[in-house]
A and B are shown apart, each in its own frame.
Chain A
Amino acid sequence: MTERSRLIREIAARWLADGTVEAVVGWEQGTYRDKTAPVIVRTPEEAQRLVFNERCTNNLVAYLKREPLKSMAAVGIVAKGCDIKSLVGLIQESQVGREKVKILAVTCPGVKDARGTVPIKCQACEVNTPTLFDELVGEKIEARPDPQARSRSLAELEAMSPQERFRFWRKEFDKCIRCYACRQACPLCICTRCIAEKNQPQWIETSPHPRGNFAWNLIRAYHLAGRCVECEACEAACPVNIPLMLLNRTMADEIKHLFGYEAGKDPAVQPPLRTFQLDDDNSFIL
């Protein structure tokens, strides 16, 4: 067992024993290949199942928005720096009270996805050592972000003509089966009833045909503009391999360009699409 895993178990067990929290969500060893699996533990004994390793890819913040954690008064969460960025988003949007969540943060040198490759978020990571936490586990890790990692992933798309780009997305969205794994895995898809589920009237066509799939994937991207913290949970969950992060990174770049804002960094700052200022850029209004 790694030192991080040992400390996570110790702290989670203490929180559960003294009633600081009702449950802790963390990772346990999975049963398929070397995957880990999210687990909700409620007793100090159950806390001995918790682990941390380079396959702890799931963003567990997504569990805060649903039962059984949603209605609990106090919960603990084991989180990497990137996961905490999405928690910052939930705190900014008053979805989760900071006082409700005890953050058991873990320093992270980077994870590996299902294919054993290092995700772009890890190559570009600036939060190897989290700054928002109640307890911090692990040696401090100096961030060495590769500033080009994101832009390299977008270069091919940006070089395309609008027609080529449309064909690219048409082909990718054709694969969509509307399983909504992207939405369900996303910590910031917080609507209790998603617009895709609003059927009186049916705002977004639920059919997985080109029109319905464009509508769904684009509205989700728009809804995450200025909110997505690039945790890559949607792309990792997609069973048909749609490169959703190309959309999300592009939207994040637009928001940074327009408002100088990057999501998930500072809980005290309001996201630009959630607020209004007199000197906002109005040039897009005719």
Chain B
Amino acid sequence: MPYLAIDVDDLPKVAEELAARGTRLVMPVREGADVFYRQGVTPSEMVFSGLPKNSIKEFLFPKSERILRYRYVGNEVALEDVLPEAEETAIVCARPCDAASIPVVAPLWNWDYEDVFFNMRRARTIVITLACAQAPDEACFCTSVGLAPHSDKGSDVLLYPVCEGRLACCFLTDAGKGLEPLFARYKKGEAGDDEIEAVKRSGEASLAHRRRLDKVRAWLEAHFEDPLWEQKASRCIGCGTCTFVCPTCHCFDIQDESGFDTGYRRKNWDACQFSLFTLHTSGHNPRDTQPKRYRQRIYHKYAIYPEKFGTVLCTGCGRCVAYCPVNLSLYDVVAAIQERAEKGE
């Protein structure tokens, strides 16, 4: 089946047209030596390679947002709902691992409570993803968690960088198909299945980490107490970097911030690596050491979340591998677990 193709240089023009319709644009841009997803940037700054240091999480689940307003009225407290500031948004040139994170976390936000903040933003966000013909970072391990450098999970449009600087466009969802006329205006011929297959092969072949992790969950279920946790995690310094750069980590804290006669309840990112995270009012802390907190992160991603929602809470983006200040690589830990499981240890 032939796919519509456009010049890669025309993708910023497509983005510009979206912006002209009043859509908030989010895209990867260079900042110093690094790449970050940013909003409100000029489409011509878009970069097509590299793993952005942040994920797209903050555009669906901001690091801090107001969820409730309260006011003192005489001797009473009046409560008012605050609705999310959910603009029509296009995430352009998203990485497939980031796009995939949206359907991975969506069940969590709709499990015992329908989170209007996530849901409204998701409904108003369109994701245009660039498949990776080359792994953007040596930390990448998406195939290990059942995804791929060309995974279409969570994307509305998936672009394959085929030869001669062109992008083959797959319009996947209704929202994505709605953009087809816009892309068609920049049409530069077509691309065939063979070209798309070549992108898939080169992306997969370029991954440095490719170990299957299919035995990790079963191992975890039998090794809550194991010397591995202390061995691996004694170097953890207990910061929140891994959880905050993660596209799927979603824990949050609730804070009330008061002014003179009015205040807001806020939802802020929180991290299971912080000692305060599980500190009880009594002073007891069930996760009183860093290895226990590190173990929790692995359990949540590879055992608890799969049990509850049927999917691993990890898209293999590799950010927690690349940006851990002490090089405590999650991939190394789960690969070591897989190895022990294969040996029956």
Q: Which positions in A face B, CB cutoff 8 Å?
A: 30-33, 35-40, 58, 62-63, 66-68, 115, 177-181, 183-185, 197, 199, 202, 205-209, 212, 236-237, 239-241
Q: Is the CB of B325 within 8 A of A32?
A: no
Q: Which residues of B contact A38 (CB under 8 A)?
A: 235, 326-327
Q: Is the CB of A241 within 8 A of B34?
A: yes
Q: How many A-B residue pairs have CB under 8 A?
A: 101
Q: Which of A35, A68, A184 is within 8 Å of B327, CB to CB?
A: A35
Q: Which of A66, A67, A239 is within 8 Å of B53, CB to CB?
A: A239
Taking CB as reference atom, which chain A residue is nearest B267?
A207
Q: Which residues of A contact B239 (CB under 8 A)?
A: 179-181, 183-185, 237
**With A32-B329, A38-B326 as contacts: A181 and B241 at CB distance below 8 Å:** yes
Q: Which residues of B contact A184 (CB under 8 A)?
A: 237-239, 325
Q: Is the CB of A185 within 8 A of B237?
A: yes
Q: Which residues of A contact B326 (CB under 8 A)?
A: 37-38, 58
19 contacts between A and B (CB under 8 A): A37-B235, A66-B237, A66-B238, A66-B290, A67-B290, A178-B268, A180-B240, A180-B274, A181-B241, A183-B239, A184-B238, A197-B275, A202-B255, A207-B255, A207-B257, A208-B63, A239-B53, A239-B244, A241-B32
Q: Which residues of A contact B332 (CB under 8 A)?
A: 31
The smallest beta-carbon distance between B161 and chain A, in angstroms, is 24
Q: How far is the CA of A212 from the CA of B269 in the complex (A)?
A: 13
Q: How far is the CA of A31 from the CA of B245 in the complex (A)?
A: 19
Q: Which residues of B contact A209 (CB under 8 A)?
A: 64
Q: Is the CB of B290 within 8 A of A236?
A: no
B163 at the interface (CB under 8 A from A): no
The smallest beta-carbon distance between B111 and chain A, in angstroms, is 25
Q: Which of B138, B268, B269, B328 is within 8 Å of A33, CB to CB?
A: B138
Q: Which residues of A contact B325 (CB under 8 A)?
A: 58, 181, 184-185, 236-237
Taking CB as reference atom, which chain B residue is nearest A243?
B32
Q: Which of B34, B289, B327 is within 8 Å of A67, CB to CB?
A: B289
Q: How far is the CA of A30 from the CA of B332 in the complex (A)?
A: 10
13 further A-B pairs in the complex, CB-CB below 8 A; given A66-B290, A178-B63: A37-B235, A40-B234, A62-B237, A67-B289, A67-B290, A177-B240, A179-B239, A179-B244, A197-B275, A208-B268, A237-B239, A239-B241, A241-B31
Which residues in chain B, 182-219, are within 8 Å of chain A measured between CB atoms?
Answer: none
Q: Which residues of B contact A63 (CB under 8 A)?
A: 235, 237
Going nearest first, the 8 A-B pairs with the smallest beta carbon separation are A179-B240, A181-B239, A37-B327, A237-B325, A30-B327, A184-B239, A184-B237, A207-B64
Q: Is the CB of B235 within 8 A of A39?
A: yes
Q: How far is the CA of A62 from the CA of B289 in the complex (A)?
A: 16
Q: How far is the CA of A66 from the CA of B64 in the complex (A)?
A: 29
**With A197-B276, A241-B31 as contacts: A179 and B235 at CB distance below 8 Å:** no
Q: Which residues of A contact B238 (CB under 8 A)?
A: 66, 184
Q: Is the CB of B237 within 8 A of A205?
A: no
Q: Is the CB of A207 within 8 A of B266?
A: yes
**With A179-B239, A179-B240, A208-B269 as contacts: A68 and B234 at CB distance below 8 Å:** yes
Which residues in chain B, 313-338, are within 8 Å of chain A measured between CB atoms?
Answer: 321-323, 325-329, 332
Q: Is the CB of B271 within 8 A of A179?
A: yes
Which residues in chain B, 276-311, are within 8 Å of chain A measured between CB atoms?
Answer: 276, 289-290
Q: How far is the CA of A207 from the CA of B256 in the complex (A)?
A: 10
Q: Which residues of B contact A185 (CB under 8 A)?
A: 237, 239, 325
